[in-house]
Each structure stands twice: as C-alpha cells, then as structure tokens.
Amino acid sequence: MSTTGKVIRCKAAIVWKPGGSFSIEEVEVAPPKAKEVRIKMVATALCGTEMKMLKDKNLQHQHYPIIMGHEGAGIVESVGEGVSTVKAGDKVIALFLPQCGECTSCLNSADNFCIKLKQAETHLMSDGTSRFTCKGKPVYHFGNTSTFSEYTVMDEISVAKIDAAAPLEKVFLVSCGFSTGYGGAINTAKVTPGSTCAVFGLGGVGLSVIMGCKAAGATRIIAVDINKDKFEKAKEVGATECINPQDYEKPIQEVLFDLTGDGVDFSFEVIGNPETVAAALASCHESHGVCVIIGLIIGVQLNISGHLFFSGRSLKGSVYGGWKGRDGASKLVSDYMAKKINLDALITHSLNLDKINEAVELMKTGKCVRCVLLL
C-alpha cells in the first residue's frame, strides 16, 4: 500500500535533552512539502560531530528533542511538489552541505559553502516547521538531514542521486566522513606528489585524509595520535609512520621538525582541538607549509602566535573536503563503483539503529572507525 502523501510512523533515535543519550521512539514523519524529499534511510553512522555534541557544552544548544545524524544513505520514498532531480525509488546520499546551484558560493567553481547550509542552524525545514513529531511534540531536525530515523524529510538540494547499483551500507560514508577527509587533502590542501604530510587525529576522517594524501602522491605520511591502537589501521590505509606525542618530552611540532629536517609540507588537524591546531600549524615548513583545519571547532578562540605566519605559512579551513555537495557525492560514489577509492577499510563494526548507544561506546574506545547503523 502506497505511503505517498501520508504520515509515516517509524522508529527514530531521539535525544531529549542536552547531554542525554539516545532513546529509540516511535515518531510520525509528515509527507514532504514543495521542493522536499522523504527518504527511507538504509545506512547511517555516528560521526565525530555527534560524538562531540553529546559531551561538549560549547556545541550543545536548546533545540530539543532532536533527531541527530548527518551521515547516511537511503532510497527516496516520495517527493514534494516541484522536485525534479530525484524520484521515488532512487538511491540517494543525504548531505549536510546543500548545493542550491544559485548562491554566489555554488556559482563559484572554487567554492562549496552553499548559503543554504545556514538553514541547519534553525533545526527546522525552510518553512520554519518540523516534519517530525513524537508523543504529540514537534522534534527538531539536525544538519539538514536527521539520518537517525527510519524515514526522514530533506530539501531536494541536500539530496544526491547515485548509481542504482551502489551498496548503501558502504557508500553512506561519502555523506560526510570520507569526503571531508579525502577532499581535505586533495581539494583544500592540494597535496603535491613527493610531499611530506602530518595528520593529527586518526578517526574515520583522519584516515580518509591519509587516503587522500596517498592518492595525491605524498611520499611520507606521518600519522599522529595518542591512541596507539589506531596505528595499525593508519598504516593499512597509507601512513608511512605513526607517532604518539606522549612518547616524547618535546612538543610534537619540534618532534616533527626533527623527523623531517624543516617541517612538513602539509599538516591536517582532524580533532577539533585549538591547541592541536596551533601545534599542527607550527609543524609546517616555515615558508610554504599549509595547515588545514578539518576538525570541528566552534565556540572557542584559537591562540596562535603571529610569527608563525610571517615567513609564509598558510592556515586554511575546509568543509566537506571542498566538494560541492550534490556533485561531489555523486562523483565519489561513481569512483567507488569504479574501484578508484576504498571505503570498506573505514567500516569496522555494524549494528542496528536500536543499538545506537552501544555504537557510542564503541566509538569512545578508539577501536571503532565507523560503525554502520542499519535501518
């Protein structure tokens, strides 16, 4: 029986209050309005952003209850009036970074920060209302996506149609983690052949940075993390050496200068720690070194010595690895299907959505890169 135009009742993982854990609840998901798409989610995962929001008061807000999740893939269930780029039955990637195709960023070939991304700050759809209700109360959206629900509603501009043969339980990583790291190396830093790179933080995004550095032809990729359990996977995906800052009495930037002679060509901060950003920048070659901030840093000030820039170092930000949302996601899925990129190495665990709190604990151990949550 068709569900088009009807309210769908399904399971979702809701956070009811700041600092709370996930609660599996039955929610009602309204039909999509004009230029919106309702999606049956198939695969999603906890990204570092959700992990931070669960514990970091700087990232917590007053929009509760909320359905989080911004990394996922699914199948279009129905579309609202005026939707022309996807149809019911299409496989799609959910995107926290929209691509409206009309703003100055979308029209600039070197830019990807679509102005519509700011819609996510309201935690509502563009008409100022929610498509979710639970126990008679509206539930807030998250990151333009809300993938921790069996069904979700998104704007058409935040949905990328992909190859019908693509395995959603693999390619969902293109929604955030892989693209953000891999593109951070290739698009934002523009890593050069024969270069030396340092990657601070070896979660799923950090490992994807390593993959990007390797694909760009870097000859030396130094992985940096205080958890040695992550070193084996880092070497598996392309790191040439791994170091733990806690093994040295010197600051890590001095260690890297000792190892390389004059600093690394490219460094990547993939943790979201202001002190690590300063160390990553100081690890760069003094005249041509490039440091890219990929980790989420919100609500804090960076304390960086001005002399680090005097000789020519660069510090850059990066969102979604510099890819334009819809175009980039479709391209990367095609690259995966053509065996040009490897996503499988990043998926270490698999659970059903109702085990999401177990996935949180797995992520905390550092032994889990990505736990795919199946819906």
> What residues act catalytically?
47, 50-52, 70, 100, 103, 106, 114, 176
Backbone angles phi, psi at 156, to 5 degrees: -55, -35
What six digits make up the tokens of 164?
Answer: 């019908």
DSSP string, 142-164: -TTT--SBSEEEEEGGGEEE--T
C-alpha 285/C-alpha 265 separation (Å) is 6
- C-alpha distances (whole Å) from 298 to each of 12, 49, 53, 359 are 27, 11, 11, 24
CB 267 within 8 A of CB 291: yes
SS3 state of residue 166: coil
β partners of residue 222? 198, 241
Name the amino acid, one letter, at 274: P
C-alpha 321/C-alpha 340 separation (Å) is 17
Long-range contacts: 347-355, Cβ < 8 Å, 24+?
347/169, 347/170, 347/173, 347/371, 347/372, 348/233, 350/169, 350/374, 353/11, 353/13, 353/24, 353/44, 353/148, 353/150, 354/11, 354/24
C-alpha 368/C-alpha 374 separation (Å) is 16
C-alpha 289/C-alpha 274 separation (Å) is 19
